[in-house]
């Protein structure tokens, strides 16, 4: 049986940058606070914790003074920077430039909507770190939608500017646009002031067709991801829709030998939050099962 690791899987550039910043600081000082999990992968978090990375939440941030704190790729609301100034914290800001650009676009859109009595709508996961950062840019004045029933939150008599969390699926974003357009028609508003902006990261959107092809090419697919990763869950289900012999694991100990019976090839892939070293570790373990 041949075992292949998907070369297109693994960390996006934003996560790579955040981890690089963390490792550089940890080599110098051996201690660094990080606001939230640096990446939604428990094995990578554990690896960095062994080097001195301490994960904190927003409540804990308020009680830390005169220290260095890493801002991860997801970005943060303005309130976080205010607390940092008050507590004399040095921020190592690894906010992804794609996320920062989206934050700015939402601020500009909110100014326009305020003049027009309109609405900012964001396609994303409520409570997700990136979404919290986006909503925080405009003092919480946004509508979060994640499925068709959420579209009922929108007032279809008013203008809408529609954005997406950078890691959302492109098909889902298109479905949301179609749903909003249809609801405008049903409301009688036949010439709505509705502008959707595709703000999904190109690294994420390009990964979907490549992953479909990868899943089709193998008898068995092992999808490696942290269970907290929403991107991981989506991409796993994408693989599963192509190849029913797709299995979700977080580490090599979860592998089962019977999955590979009569298989000639196995593919190992993962989320944007899955480290390449972990996928290679899984592939090595599969090779031992032959």
Name the domain boundary from 95, 117, 139: 95
- pLDDT tier at 184, thresholds 50, 70, 90: very high
State the total domains in the chain: 3
Task: Report helix, strand or coil for 55.
Answer: strand
Query: Do 146 and 169 share a domain, yes or no?
Result: yes
Q: Which two tokens stand for residue 172?
A: 């889902």
Cβ–Cβ < 8 Å for 161, 102: no
Which CATH number do you get for residue 72?
Answer: 3.40.50.11270
Give the model confidence (pLDDT) of 14-65 as tens digits.
999 999 999 999 999 999 999 999 998 999 999 999 999 999 999 999 999 9
b/e burial code for range 239-250 (CB count within 10 A of at least 16 → b): bbebbebbbbbb
pLDDT above 90 coverage of the chain, percent: 91
Of 169, 200, 231, the residue at which a domain comes to its end is: 200
Tell me how far apart the alpha carbons of residues 19 and 38 are, in angstroms, rounded to a whole number. 7
- Residues 147, 54 share a domain: no
158 and 171 fall within a common domain? yes
Residue 162's SS3 state is strand
**Which residues are catalytically annotated?**
130
Give the pLDDT confidence score for residue 203 in this predicted structure: 85
**Structure tokens, 148:** 């068709």
Residue 166 shares a structural domain with residue 245? no
- Give the pTM: 0.89
Please say whether the beta carbons of 125 and 228 come within 8 A.
no
pLDDT in tens, 76-129: 999 999 999 999 999 999 999 999 999 999 999 999 999 999 999 999 999 999
Same-domain status, 221 and 143: no
The C-alpha atoms of residue 169 and residue 234 are separated, in whole angstroms, by 8
Looking at residue 271, its pLDDT comes to: 92
Indicate the residue among 95, 110, 145 that finishes a domain. 95
Residue 245 has pLDDT above 90, yes or no: yes
Give the domain CATH number at 137: 3.40.1010.20
């Amino acid at each position: 049986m041949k075992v292949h690791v998907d070369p297109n899987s693994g960390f996006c550039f934003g996560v790579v940058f955040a981890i690089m910043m963390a490792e550089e600081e940890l080599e110098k000082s051996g201690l660094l606070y990080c606001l939230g999990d640096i990446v939604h992968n428990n094995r990578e978090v554990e690896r960095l914790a062994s080097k001195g990375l301490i994960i904190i939440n927003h409540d804990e941030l308020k009680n830390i003074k005169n220290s260095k704190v890493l801002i991860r790729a997801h970005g943060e609301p303005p309130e976080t920077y205010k607390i940092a100034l008050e507590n004399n914290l040095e921020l190592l800001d690894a906010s992804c430039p794609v996320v920062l650009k989206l934050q700015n676009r939402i601020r500009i859109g909110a100014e326009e909507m305020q003049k027009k009595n309109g609405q900012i709508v964001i396609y994303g996961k409520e409570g997700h770190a990136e979404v919290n950062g986006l909503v925080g840019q405009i003092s919480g004045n946004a509508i979060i939608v994640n499925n068709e029933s959420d579209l009922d939150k929108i007032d279809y008599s008013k203008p809408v500017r529609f954005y997406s969390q950078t890691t959302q699926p492109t098909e889902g974003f298109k479905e949301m646009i179609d749903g909003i357009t249809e609801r405008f028609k049903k409301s009688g508003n036949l010439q709505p002031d509705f502008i959707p902006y595709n703000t999904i990261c190109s690294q994420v959107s390009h990964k979907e067709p490549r992953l479909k092809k990868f899943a089709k090419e193998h008898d068995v697919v092992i999808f490696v991801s942290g269970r907290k990763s929403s991107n991981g869950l989506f991409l796993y289900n994408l693989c599963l829709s192509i190849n029913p012999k797709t299995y979700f694991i977080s580490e090599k100990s979860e592998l089962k030998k019977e999955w590979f019976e009569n298989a000639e090839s196995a593919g190992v892939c993962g989320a944007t939050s899955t480290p390449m070293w972990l996928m290679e570790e899984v592939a090595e373990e599969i090779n031992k099962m032959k």
